[in-house]
Every structure is written in structure tokens, then in C-alpha cells.
Amino acid sequence: MTNFWQNNRFCVTGGAGFLGSFVVEKLAALGATNVFVPRSKDYNLVELDAVKRMLADAKPDVIIHLAASVGGIGANLTHQAEFFYDNLMMGTQLMHESYKAGVEKFVAIGTICAYPKFASIPFREDDIWSGYPEETNAPYGLAKKMMLVQSQVYRSQYGFNSIYLLPVNLYGPRDNFDLETSHVIPALIRKCLEAKAQGDEYIEAWGDGSPTREFLYVEDAAEAILLATEHYTKSDPVNLGSSFEISIRELVETIAEVTGFTGEIRWNTDKPNGQPRRKLDVSRAQQEFSFSSSTVFRDGLKKTVDWYLQQSS
């Protein structure tokens, strides 16, 4: 434990959510005793008055901004306008009001969707402006990327201490398993388990299976965020990832194996693939605050499946 965790007041937006719940648990383990977790029913952070009221109530020294309107490809296609507006307003207003309120450090959580559609592999932080994001999630990615611009200019003009982290696709226990809004791993886990239970002969997967993705186990992501919160003090963006790249086809086959589904996998090529490849250069996180992921992908999948089975039993 260090005095950093004991001596500061923390506010974790989205702290009751998937990633946020692990961040809050790890904060407690580090010795943080003053942690404020605003709930959306009490503070709609899209609204300026709610942002100001939350800051007045929490009086934070450090804000970790995890709250987001987010979903998979289907949700992004359906809610492009809401995802753009909600995320832009939350991030911009919260950072500005935090600066005005004298918050000592602001930790902004961006998204891998901010990278160009055809970014060079692996994605390096310096290439984040080299093209337009993949169309299905560009509104969300661009809205979140504005926090990077804001972080840099507020540091330059005001000396405001804010950082911007770019986690890759997350997975793990407590994820969203709603088939309409979930990301790829929880959606596939649920599809496979339900098909197995119902004796279905096949499941449907979107696209053709050719895109690749990198995934980071949620507890590793929480660890990375808190390492950066304590040790990183620059506005240069930092990737958070595992360096493990897997094709969607291999991912589906692996999840089918872990869940025990032995039926056919049918690819619906009328559905979008999304970005062709995602793999991060994670050297900056290692250099700046000594983060490297520790969870083996298959082990993380097994933990996720086990958690979902416990919740649905």
C-alpha cells in the first residue's frame, strides 16, 4: 500500500458496471477508503447540472471516468446518434468541470474503436490520427477520442493533470450477456450454452470469421488502470492490451469447445465484419507504468463461462 490510495478521495464513474466493479474492488484492496461511485439513476452525467452536483457531492481528488454508452456492432449500428452524443457530453463536460473544481487527476478511459479502420498492425498510439475509424463504431470512437484532445490541450493551457487510456476489447465475469447489446465474447458464450441446452444443431455467427481481435481480461484491465492512475502523469495516449490476437473464426471455435457446444457454426455474411484487424502495441504501458497482462486467454474464457453458468442456474 502507498499513501496515494489512502490519502485521496476517488470518484469512479461507471463504478457499478462491468469494468468499474473490478476497479472499485481493487481500490479497496489497495487501501482506498474514500471511493464515491455515482449511479446513473442519481446522476445522469450527460446533463451538466448532474455533473456539477456529482462533483459537489463526491469532492474527489481523483476521477476515474469509466462510464460510457457502449455495445457491440449491432448496438452501434442501431444507436449511433445516442452513442455519439452521450459519450461526447459525458466526457467533455466532466473533464471541464473537474478542471474547474480543482480535481488533481483525471483518468479518461477511451476505446480501441478510436483507431483508424486500416491502422497499421500493431496499433501504435502515435498512429491514432492516421485515418477514419471503422464505420460501424466511428461515432462512438470519435466521441471518446475527443477526451484525448481535451486532455492534451487542458494540460498544455491549464496544467490540468489528465491521462488517456485505450483498452482493447474486454471480457470476463459480470459482462453484459444481452444478445441485443453485448460484445462478441459474451454473446457467443450465451449462444453456445443456450444452443447446447436446447439441443440446437447450429449457431449463427456474424460476418465471415476473418477479422482478428485482441482481448484483455477485465481484472487485468482494472489493474492497468490503477497502475496508470498512480504512476502515469502524461497526456500521451496509452494502449492497454494483452498482445494476443485471434481470428473471430478461431474465437467462435474456442468458445464452442469451452462451452461444450458440438453443433455447426453458420456464418451470416450478410452481417458486417467490423474492423479487419485489431492488435495493439503495448510497449508504452510496460515502459510507463510496468503493466503487462497476466491472464491466459483460455483461462479467462473458462472463468467467464463458469460465472455465467452460476448466474443463470
**Number of Cα atoms under 13 Å in the Cβ half of residue 145:** 18
The pTM is what? 0.94
What is the CATH superfamily name and number for domain 3-170+215-243+277-294? Answer: NAD(P)-binding Rossmann-like Domain (3.40.50.720)
Measured in whole angstroms, the distance separating CA 272 from the mean position of its chain's CA atoms is 21
Mean pLDDT calculated for residue range 169-186: 90
Res. 69 pLDDT band, cuts 50 70 90: confident
Residue ranges per structural domain of the chain: 3-170+215-243+277-294
> Per-residue pLDDT for 71 more than 70?
no
Given the residues 115, 140, 154, 217, the one annotated as active site: 140
- Pairwise CA distance, residues 64 & 196, whole Å: 40
Q: Are 114 and 137 in contact (CB under 8 A)?
A: no
Gyration radius (Cα) of the chain, Å: 19
140 is catalytic: yes
Whole-number pLDDT of residue 73: 65
Whole-number pLDDT of residue 1: 46
Whole-number pLDDT of residue 107: 98
> Per-residue pLDDT for 218 more than 60?
yes
Q: 112-168: per-residue pLDDT in tens?
A: 999 999 999 999 999 999 999 988 889 999 999 999 999 999 999 999 999 999 999
Q: Are 279 and 122 in contact (CB under 8 A)?
A: yes
Mean pLDDT calculated for residue range 206-216: 94
